[in-house]
């Protein structure tokens, strides 16, 4: 019901920038606000997007690490106004304030940019799969943000989305604040595929930090028939400064 009300509100109101809320814009963000977004730069490692690429491929540490993901792309860094947009999308306010479609539209724009870059690593995307929530958490929240973003990515790429491809077997504790090794242990074996999947799959989530959740989900997709998996996320936790 909430999603239906958002769609109706979006249709009734003239399009406006998700950040400044004033400038009419056919896109989610006006040109002025786009200049304020901390976009992830081009030319970095296709997996971590932090260190320089090694001859166009993964950097040394990523090349020596997991090979479950061919690439992991994000639209922007998770800081400043981007953090506010994603929080507004994932945790809408109660009542009429939570019907504002702007955060969802902005996050869809971020993931579309990431999906376009990740698709290059796959060659041809044959299916888009969101990282699933455990059923208990899905009931509590009422929606899976990754599913909404996966639908936006699939429309952008012109390929099918399969929200039921993966199942979260365990209601794992939050990854927030855990180091990479603990994150990997926390989600190891947490996902399984419900049915066979295409050979080239784009995996979608909202925010990537260490990539542990994406790697665990990619392992389940590869066990179900995926030969190549890449990931697209709306945002990425910025590197230490």
Instruction: Assess if residue 150 is contained within a domain.
Output: yes
Per-residue pLDDT of the chain (241 residues; tens, 9 = 90+): 445 444 444 544 556 788 887 766 667 888 888 899 999 988 889 999 988 888 878 888 888 877 789 999 999 999 999 999 999 999 887 655 556 778 898 999 999 999 999 999 998 999 999 999 988 888 888 889 999 999 999 999 999 999 999 999 876 656 566 556 665 556 677 899 999 999 999 999 999 988 889 999 999 999 999 999 999 999 999 987 7
Instruction: Assess if residue 241 is contained within a domain.
Output: no
Whose tokens are 């992830």? That residue is 40
- Residue 49 in tokens: 């997007």
Instruction: Assess if residue 70 is contained within a domain.
Output: yes
Instruction: Assess if residue 113 is contained within a domain.
Output: yes
Range(s) of the domain holding residue 116: 2-236
Q: Which of 2, 146, 6, 166 is nearest to 86 (CA)?
A: 146
102-122 vs 80-90: helix axis angle to the nearest 10?
Answer: 100
Is 17 in contact with 29 (CB distance < 8 Å)? Answer: yes
Q: How many domains does the chain have?
A: 1
Distance CA 123, CA 121 (A): 6
């Amino acid at each position: 019901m909430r999603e239906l009300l958002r769609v109706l509100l979006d249709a009734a109101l003239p399009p406006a920038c998700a950040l400044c809320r004033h400038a009419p814009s056919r896109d989610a963000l006006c040109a002025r606000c786009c200049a304020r977004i901390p976009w992830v730069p081009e030319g970095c490692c296709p997996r971590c997007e932090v260190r320089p690429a090694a001859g166009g491929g993964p950097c040394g540490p990523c090349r020596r690490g997991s090979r479950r993901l061919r690439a992991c792309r994000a639209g922007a860094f998770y800081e400043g106004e981007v953090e506010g947009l994603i929080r507004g999308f994932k945790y809408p306010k109660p009542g009429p304030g939570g019907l504002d479609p702007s955060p969802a539209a902005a996050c869809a724009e971020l993931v579309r940019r990431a999906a376009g870059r990740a698709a290059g690593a796959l060659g041809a995307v044959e299916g888009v799969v969101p990282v699933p929530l455990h059923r208990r958490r899905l009931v509590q929240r009422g929606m899976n943000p990754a599913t909404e973003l996966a639908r936006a990515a699939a429309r952008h790429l012109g390929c099918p989305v399969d929200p039921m491809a993966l199942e979260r077997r365990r209601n794992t504790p939050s990854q927030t604040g855990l180091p990479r090794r603990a994150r990997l242990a926390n989600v190891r074996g947490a996902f399984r595929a419900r049915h066979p999947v295409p050979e080239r799959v784009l995996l979608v989530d909202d925010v990537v930090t260490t990539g542990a959740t994406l790697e665990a989900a990619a392992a389940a997709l590869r066990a179900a028939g995926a030969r190549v998996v890449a990931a697209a996320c709306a945002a990425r936790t910025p590197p230490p400064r």
